[in-house]
Amino acid sequence: MSDSKLSPKQWVAPHIAGLPRSGIRDFFELVKTMDDVISLGIGEPDFVTPWHIREACIYAINHGYTSYTSNLGDPRLRKAICKYSAENFGLEYKPENECIVTVGVSEALDIVLRAVLSPGDEVLYHEPCYVSYAPSVRMTHAVPVPVLTREENDFVLQVEDLEKAVTPRSKVLLLNYPNNPTGAGMTLADKQLMADFAIRHDLLVLSDEIYEELSYIPRTPSIASLPGMKERTVTLNGFSKAFAMTGFRIGYACGPVDLIEAMMKIHQYSMLCASSIAQAAAIEALQNGQGPREDMRREYEQRRNVIVKRLNEIGLPCFMPRGAFYVFPRISSTGLDSATFAKRLLQEKHVAVVPGTAFGSCGEGFVRCSYATSLEEIEIAMTRIQELVSALS
């Protein structure tokens, strides 16, 4: 008998085999098998994409706009993105060479990490954080270095903690504010501290601003617009959340010419371009979508006010999120850990929330509730959560 029969060859590369499965996806496979579940779990708008945006996509199909676009993205979309970024985020980029259209922020993140990281480079990022960050870094053979954030600071990253984590191998600081999963936001002063830190340690900042337009406090300029930051920042943004366009899969990155050029090469050889008809829809979103976008933002804000008030009344404390559509209540007073709380809430009360540990170990003691669901459902979910918490006390 040959050796290969005794031990089948492991085809999957060790650094991929070692990646964890997303805790959220597994949890929601279970949810799908159950009836009458109110989901506060999904990080996806409950609104359908505004009609005029869908219509622009249909128009593009009907008029045969069905070919590859430029690798960097349809020039009309890049122009619209740069105009929009200047007007709304205080960012000045040239559509010709400082902006690339991608398949969601997910692809923008993937290609910027691949463009800048070599094996062993370190990426500093905050925990709790979006589930893709650490796996995306690992896929490049670089090293994710989580820096824990705390409830007492409303989950805003602190420079003292960054100073303890930075090493000569640190190359990137990855930020996501407004934040998934906590709803935390950064003030201008917070952003300035991050900028000073990045300059002091000569780091590239990747700023994932996908929730920027779902802000409930007056917006502050993007970190890239602060003095000395434009040349060391890549700003990532997209259409999934603000315009309820998750299925269109359109995102973008703006940054220094040499980095956009490097990202374009990876994108060119792996994706070619983002979907042409989805790009047509994105142009419409930027040019005429402000009314519907603002209506959705106001609706989220109203829901946020209700859910925060109710959770605090129930005895699951949470701070008032500054943006996104998540709250991150502390559930440790129930005596259960996050995973057990989420499991019992689902099994006994048919309400789905995500254990805080899905977003990093410091999420223990918390759960993430999304308010991308109707006020009516939020009210019912709160009653059910109250019943479970009362039964536990």
What is the rounded distance in angstroms from the CA atom of residue 391 to the CA atom of residue 220?
Answer: 43
Q: Does 290 engage in binding with ligand PLP (CB under 6 A)? A: no
For residues 162 and 324, which CB has a smaller minimum distance to ligand PLP in the complex? 324
In the chain the beta strands, taken as DSSP E runs, fall at 38-39, 99-102, 122-127, 143-148, 170-175, 204-208, 233-238, 251-254, 326-327, 351-352, 354-355, 367-370
- Find the binding residues for ligand PLP in span 179-218 (CB under 6 A): 180, 208, 210
* Count of residues touching ligand PLP (by CB under 6 A): 13
Q: Does 274 engage in binding with ligand PLP (CB under 6 A)? A: no
The residue number with the shortest CB distance to ligand PLP is 104
For residues 106 and 149, which CB has a smaller minimum distance to ligand PLP in the complex? 106
Q: Does 275 engage in binding with ligand PLP (CB under 6 A)? A: no
- Find the binding residues for ligand PLP in span 69-108 (CB under 6 A): 104-106
Give me the least distance between CB of 56 and ligand PLP, in Å please: 19
Radius of gyration of the chain (CA): 21
- Find the binding residues for ligand PLP in span 226-245 (CB under 6 A): 238, 240
Closest alpha carbon to 339 in 359, 320, 321: 359
Q: Does 246 engage in binding with ligand PLP (CB under 6 A)? A: yes
> Cα–Cα distances in Å, from 255 out to 41, 85, 204, 235, 237?
33, 12, 11, 6, 12
x/- map, 124-143, ligand PLP, by CB under 6 A: ------x-------------
> Cα–Cα distances in Å, from 265 out to 76, 163, 231, 261?
21, 34, 20, 6
Give me the least distance between CB of 382 and ligand PLP, in Å please: 24
Q: What is the rounded (10 degree) CA torsion for 95, 70, 246, 182?
A: -40
CB 106 within 8 A of CB 267: no
Three-state DSSP class for residue 349: helix
Longest CA pairwise span in the chain (Å) = 71
Q: Does 248 engage in binding with ligand PLP (CB under 6 A)? A: no
CB 359 within 8 A of CB 131: yes
For residues 191 and 310, which CB has a smaller minimum distance to ligand PLP in the complex? 191
For residues 140 and 240, which CB has a smaller minimum distance to ligand PLP in the complex? 240
Q: Does 176 engage in binding with ligand PLP (CB under 6 A)? A: yes
Binding site for ligand PLP (CB under 6 A): 43, 104-106, 130, 176, 180, 208, 210, 238, 240, 246, 251
